[in-house]
Amino acid sequence: MTLLKTIKGKGKGALDVKDFPVVRSTLPCIFNDLPLGIKIGSVVELDLDDLIMSEDSLLAPLDLEVSNYVRAFSSFELFEQQFFLFYLEGRYSLNESILQVTIDEEGEIQQKIFVEYSEDPLEDEEEWIGDGGYIGALTFTVEEDIEFQRSWGGEGEDVDPYLVEETIYRTNYGENLVVDKQLMLYHRDIGEGIEHLLVTADDYKGETHIRIYNGIDTSIVVI
């Protein structure tokens, strides 16, 4: 399936975690068991060695810094795994970045770092999330000739995107908002490793936005 257009920038009414206020509170922190010891406000240091090696092969350069502030996080279950999405903010980075941490039934942890490639209000629901839509197609092609293979849903025909209720926590004291998220993961071999493409349709307060993130596998240090 070919992506017909890529529109950069934030659409009107788009959910942007960078707009979340920094909230101070004397209440006790209720998130003491997040993976890797991460909390909202933690500084996450990324290992960018793999990024440096593969940057010329990526769909788009990943606008990342070594040290990043955890602005918000969410958690949901999918494929009998626990997914954590940590929304990061660097000092100079312009695009939204997400650290995805997954934990399987055996406790094995995997980490991927994604940077927002494009964001656009949903204009044609059938084109994107309907039967045979972009999200869930066996392949996903960007910029006319860069093809990604579907990572989830097997190797058969088109499938529906996966639907989760994403609760995004903005503070360590439980303040949150809820987003209905439809998503699919794609990948391609870039020689030095694998580039991932996360495609989502996020419904927040009745308005849906399509977001595309490209990223790589990574490791982190939490300060």
Judged by average pLDDT, the poorest of 133-137, 155-159, 173-177 is 173-177
Q: How far apart are the first and last CA of the chain?
A: 41
Strands 176-189 and 162-169: antiparallel
The reported pLDDT for the residue numbered 27 is 41
Which amino acid is located at 85 in the chain?
L
Question: Among residues 140, 25, 17, 20, which one has the least CA distance to residue 85?
Answer: 17
The span from the CA of 136 to the CA of 149, in Å, is 10
**Strands annotated E in the chain:** 43-46, 67-78, 81-89, 97-103, 109-121, 139-142, 146-150, 162-169, 176-189, 194-204, 207-217, 220-222
The span from the CA of 121 to the CA of 83, in Å, is 25
Could you tell me which residues come within 8 angstroms of residue 55 by beta carbon, excluding any fewer than 6 positions away? Answer: 61, 62
In this prediction the pTM is 0.84
Q: What is the pLDDT of residues 162-183, one digit of tens each?
A: 999 998 988 877 778 889 999 9
The span from the CA of 32 to the CA of 52, in Å, is 33
Query: Max alpha carbon distance in the chain (Å)?
Result: 53
The reported pLDDT for the residue numbered 3 is 45
Rounded mean pLDDT of 76-102? Answer: 89
Rounded mean pLDDT of 28-55? Answer: 76
